[in-house]
Chains A and B, each alone.
Chain A
Amino acid sequence: GASKPPTKPESIGDNSSNTSAVSDEITEVELVFKPHPAMQASTSEKAAAAAASLRTDHIQTRFIKTSGNATVDHLKKYLGMRLALDAQQGGQAEDEGPYHKCTISIRPHGEFMTIPDGLTLGQICDKYWRINKPLEVYYHWKKWSTN
């Protein structure tokens, strides 16, 4: 007669080694999120900002921590959300539109380099930011430039 192979009972809790391996993969990135120098406070640009209904007091350096798999798109969206939130708290209705059009760049060796949207912060650190200081990311709205 045919004999069935004995079935092994599944061991519950045998995969305990898997759970500890997950946390190692996602690393955190701390970065300084700065306005691009072109956005900073020349009189003509402030006037341009006022004309474009943008508030200049929101242009500030932000200190951020997030996971390494966050992309440039996440940063852009976060910036838009924060600026809209700040505007609401200040009693103003803020248009999020201009902030989605912002450009994200870094300056690893003195020259600004625009970062593509899909790149993660981990990739940026690995490819471009090989210096021993926190990542510095610059944001710049296209609407801001007058040319």
Chain B
Amino acid sequence: KKKKKIRNIRPRLKNIDRSQVHCQPVTVNNVTVVITEFLPKSVASSSQNST
């Protein structure tokens, strides 16, 4: 018997730093989900002016 498998692939975020995350469990109506927040990739700042 063959089982049909539905693949649910959602588009992923780009330009985020997946190495730095903040995880926070949130409970509403006895349902707990973990929300993970990513930081945006930092733009490399090459020059720093001092006056």
CB-CB contacts of A35-78 with B at 8 A, as 1s and 0s?
A: 00000000000000000000000000111111111110111011
- Interface: A28 (CB within 8 A): yes
Contact partners of A81 in chain B: CB under 8 A: 24, 26
Q: Chain A interface (Cβ within 8 Å of chain B)? A: 24, 27-32, 61-71, 73-75, 77-78, 81-82, 125, 132-135
User: Residues of B at under 8 Å CB distance from A?
Assistant: 5, 8, 10-14, 16, 24, 26, 28-29, 31, 33-40
26 A–B contact pairs at CB < 8 A?
A: A24-B5, A30-B13, A62-B37, A63-B38, A63-B39, A64-B35, A64-B36, A65-B13, A65-B38, A69-B33, A70-B26, A70-B35, A73-B28, A74-B28, A74-B31, A78-B26, A78-B35, A81-B24, A81-B26, A82-B37, A132-B11, A133-B11, A134-B12, A134-B13, A134-B14, A135-B10
